[in-house]
Amino acid sequence: MSIRYPNGKVYQTSKIAKKSQAEKKFSFSNRGMTLEEDLNDTNTYYLERQIAVIHKKPTPVQIVQVDYPSRSAAVIKEAYFKQASTTDYNGIFKGRYIDFEAKETKNSTSFPLQNFHQHQIDHMKQVLDQGGICFVILRFSSTDEIFLLEASYLLNFWSRQMNGGRKSMTKAEIEEKGYKIPIGYQPRIHYIAVLEQLYFN
């Protein structure tokens, strides 16, 4: 099956599968959990305990070609992403709109800004302009360190890049501006604790 972006470029599903297997090797205590899986587990924990309602955004796909090898089976042969995605997660916590992106890198000393896209940056700015809580969760997979960085700081780093500055955020900058989130058991990545400290104390 081929899935295509809005610009017609083919989405390489096989490469993504291989990448995801490789990333699992870097996970906490070799648990086989990716950042996305950890966050999904965390959000399920929040939902079940009525702490917050946060969900991963579905990516809208338009199906173009379907084969029917038998009456009871349908195989999607070609599909396109309808639009560029914005951020990964959104929802509500204590009456405030929550919106965030989750990224990870194998780099140990910096986080490349190429992991983000202009439409995501634009979306984050729009959320901030409307008074929403917007941030990014960043994982350094080589050391299993996770940070919450408010979107306002990411926008500053992005602006610096666009004005000819460095094309990454140093780990030292993330440590200074962000908040380290320890990996726990339940919940796995307790980012709500950081939001409590930042916005509700």
90 vs 68, more confident: 90
**Is 2-199 a CATH 2.60.40.1220 domain?**
no
Model confidence, pTM = 0.75
Q: What is the pLDDT of residues 125-158, one digit of tens each?
A: 999 999 999 999 999 999 999 999 999 999 999 9
Domains of the chain: which residue ranges? Answer: 2-199
Q: What is the pLDDT of residues 12-62, one digit of tens each?
A: 544 444 444 444 443 333 344 689 999 999 999 999 999 999 999 876 666
Residue 20 CA: distances (Å) to CA of 27, 42, 101, 140: 11, 19, 17, 15
pLDDT for residue 17: 43
